[in-house]
Structure 1
């Protein structure tokens, strides 16, 4: 069994995530998201999708990027 680095739970089905040269061990996707997902530069929510990068920040949507001063940011548009 392995121990989750976020909650400390020892779990038979723990998994590893290899990211930026480091190995992380988690017992759930929830813990992995809390540890590894970036937070929106405006509202602070965890960005678990593609998000929007503007300047040096990550945002959950174009609205949040716009509030932070990136007026040209756009969400993905379909044709």
Structure 2
């Protein structure tokens, strides 16, 4: 049985994810997958499970965090 790369659980229904770098990872749940591969917000540190937003090389969970980190010109909604 495959073992989850995050929690070590042996699980018959585990799934595999191949990263852009070619690394193959094994997970027993979406929660473990998010914990291991979802990017973190540069400002608040939360896991970004949606699109997020980017400025230069930084990734943010929302426009608010980007602004709090000093980024200008980003908004959550179009007017």
Range of TM-score over shorter length: over 0.9
Output the TM-score relative to the length of structure 1.
Answer: 0.93
**Separation in 1, partners of 2:45, 2:9:** 26
Question: 2:25 aligns to what?
Answer: 24
**Separation in 2, partners of 1:59, 1:29:** 21
Output the TM-score relative to the length of structure 2.
Answer: 0.93
- SS in structure 1 of the partner of residue 16 of structure 2: strand
Question: 1:14 aligns to what?
Answer: 14
Q: Identify unmatched segments of 5+ residues in structure 1.
A: none
- 1:1-79 alignment to 2 at 5 Å? 1-20=1-20, 21-77=22-78
- Give the direction of change, closer, same or farther, for the CA distance of 1:51–1:2 in structure 2 (3 Å limit): same
**Separation in 2, partners of 1:55, 1:67:** 15
Following superposition, the deviation at residue 72 of structure 1 comes to 1.1
Deviating runs (4+, > 2 A) in structure 1? none
Q: Identify unmatched segments of 5+ residues in structure 2.
A: none
**Separation in 1, partners of 2:17, 2:3:** 13
